[in-house]
Structures are given as C-alpha cells and as structure tokens.
Amino acid sequence: MQKRLNLWKRLKPEYKDKFKEEYKEKSYFREKAEHELKTTFYFTEVSYGTAYDIMSCNDINFLGDAFNTNKYE
C-alpha cells in the first residue's frame, strides 16, 4: 500500500524556497504554515491565512498550482 504525501512534501521546491525566504524573519507564521501543511493532505483543507501566505509570496492565483500532482511516495 502506498503512503500518501502531506502537502509540505508535495509543495514544489521553488515555491517552498520562496516561502521560506519571504518569511525567514517571521518564524511564527512560517512554522504555523509548515505545521499545517505537514498535517494536511488536501489543499482544500488549508486555512485561508496559510493559503494566502503561500500564494502571495509566490504570485500564484490558485493554491493547487503550488503542489506536485504526485500524491504518493
């Protein structure tokens, strides 16, 4: 049986790097968002604040575009 990947693992590397760079001085927001993505498997379950933080720093209009489509290890 395949193991499902959480959203943090599925977040595209370039978006993850940009997010970390943008929020490097705001560790609380970064850690909160990372924790939420590590415990969530569907982008439709992500809170509005986390979705906004990821989308705004990466200049994307749809949160689903930030993730790789491969859902399993």
Tell me the mean pLDDT per 10 residues along the chain, length 73.
91 94 85 95 95 94 93 81
Within a domain: residue 1? no
Which pLDDT belongs to residue 69?
87
Within a domain: residue 49? yes
Per the CB < 8 A criterion, the answer to whether 54 and 66 are in contact is: yes
Within a domain: residue 48? yes
Which pLDDT belongs to residue 27?
79
Within a domain: residue 73? no
Q: For residue 50, what are the domain limits? A: 7-66
Which pLDDT belongs to residue 38?
96
Within a domain: residue 24? yes
Which pLDDT belongs to residue 14?
96
Which pLDDT belongs to residue 52?
94
Number of domains making up the chain = 1
Within a domain: residue 29? yes
Within a domain: residue 72? no
Per the CB < 8 A criterion, the answer to whether 16 and 57 are in contact is: no
